[in-house]
Amino acid sequence: MEYLPTMLKIIENGALANTEKVASYTKVLADKLRNDGDTKAAQKVINIIKQTNTRKGISPASALNSSTIPVDRDSRFSLADESFPDIKDIDIQLDKIVERPVEEFISFVENAHLLSDAGVGISPSMLIYGPPGCGKSYLAQHIAARLKLPLLTTRCDSLMSSLLGSTAKNIRNLFDHAANRPCVLFLDEFDALAKARDDQHEVGELKRVVVGLLQNIDNLPSDTVVLAATNHENLLDPAVWRRFAYRLNIQMPSYESREKLLKQYLKGFSPKNLKNLTSATEGMSGALIRQACEALIRLAVLNGESNLDENKLLVKIAQIQHYKIIQSHETAESKIRQLKQADSRLFTTRVLSELFTISTGKISKILNSPLQA
Ligand SMILES: Nc1ncnc2c1ncn2[C@@H]1O[C@H](COP(=O)(O)OP(=O)(O)OP(=O)(O)O)[C@@H](O)[C@H]1O
Ligand SMILES: [Mg+2]
């Protein structure tokens, strides 16, 4: 019954004579069949649409190729990027507290027909908020991949940067496009659009654009999945929050998630014991952990090494976590003392020695000598 939700969509839109949607959902069905290895059935399904086109003189088949994303009239820039995330390429680590609502959201979308039959249908929209680099955009890819739908990503700041007069039109065109095909519409950097509504300095026209955006969200058909992401949730007013059935706060990864992130991004280079490293990465985002791991793997590959020394990893993490002290213009002695004070467990004599290329003996001497007045 894996195909049932898509088949129901095809029947529903057929009954409503919405040929474009029939065709685009048929394409989704064909893609699912093809992914599951049934290319014959996939081709049969596509052929039905193509033949309908020739028999009736109408053109549902054109919808098979209707993924032309609208463009800004003046700049000709595309208003969104289309991608087809594959679950095989996405390995997201989510804390349990985040994972549960995400699974629930996916299940609601997949079983939307059951919910509307029971009169408790829900508009599939989710606002994802949290600090930079903690996986908001990655989660949008994950959700699209799980739903086996194309992801239409628009960066709201660039949508806004076009001439104001055409911004409202751009938004409408984009939403019309999304409403007419099965997809996940992802409004990234959402605060760029939504914050203007309440900003004292913004001119009236901008506010009207934002009100228009909210109306567009309201008017989307109940089967269009909308995700929005921001790291400035405090800039969004209550009217914006209300538009989203789900609000998901992603925070910096927990100990368990950081351990998984380290394993994931260190791959075969990972030391066996990740305890110290996991503790040292507290407060780092998934994006930063990935960067640190990849930088070291690059060096190891160039040096022909097949595994990574834990100490080197700790130094790299220390450089990221305490870059302000490390890059300050103070003396090495003063920096060494400050680092030891900031995190005595991370800054062992060996780590400090590697970091400043000073012998461990000298580091101990600095740390044990009294501060000069
Ligand atoms: N929870 C996570 N699990 C696995 N990888 C992650 C996670 N968080 C971040 N990453 C890695 O970091 C990259 C950047 O993360 P992403 O762009 O999703 O962050 P973001 O929250 O959208 O940041 P920003 O607020 O700056 O847009 C991802 O493509 C992924 O490789
Ligand atoms: Mg992002």
Give yes or no for residue 90 CB within 6 A of ligand 1.
no
More confident residue, 310 or 349: 349
Are 152 and 81 in contact, with CB atoms under 8 Å apart?
A: yes
Query: What are the pLDDT digits (tens) for 255-264?
Result: 999 999 999 9
Q: What are phi and psi of 181, to 5 degrees?
A: -150, 155
Q: Which of 99, 134, 151, 157 to mutate to test the pocket of ligand 1 (most atoms within 8 A of CB)?
A: 134
Query: What are the pLDDT digits (tens) for 153-200?
Result: 998 777 776 566 677 888 888 998 898 888 899 999 888 876 655 555
Q: What's the CA-to-centroid distance between 289 and ligand 2, angstroms?
A: 16
Give yes or no for residue 125 CB within 6 A of ligand 1.
no
Using CA atoms, how far residue 306 sits from 275, 293, 294, 317, in Å, is 21, 14, 14, 20
Please state the atom number of ligand 1 nearest to the C-alpha of residue 188. Answer: 27
The tokens for 229 are 């992401």
Give yes or no for residue 290 CB within 6 A of ligand 1.
yes
Give yes or no for residue 134 CB within 6 A of ligand 1.
yes
Give yes or no for residue 92 CB within 6 A of ligand 1.
yes
pLDDT value for 290: 96
- Domain spanning 68-249: CATH 3.40.920.10: no
Q: Which helix (H) or strand (E) holds 188?
A: strand 184-188
Q: What's the CA-to-centroid distance between 366 and ligand 1, angstroms?
A: 39
Q: Which residue's CA is the nearest one to ligand 1's atom 14?
A: 287
Q: Which residue's CA is the nearest one to ligand 1's atom 17?
A: 137
The tokens for 325 are 């002290």
> How many Å apart are CA 261 and CA 309, to the nearest integer?
18
Query: What are the pLDDT digits (tens) for 27-80?
Result: 888 888 888 888 888 888 877 777 665 444 434 444 444 458 888 877 778 889
Residue 352 has pLDDT above 50, yes or no: yes
Are 243 and 218 in contact, with CB atoms under 8 Å apart?
A: yes
Q: What's the CA-to-centroid distance between 112 and ligand 2, angstroms?
A: 27
Give 289's pLDDT tier (boundaries 50, 70, 90): very high
The segment(s) of the chain belonging to CATH 3.40.50.300 are 68-249
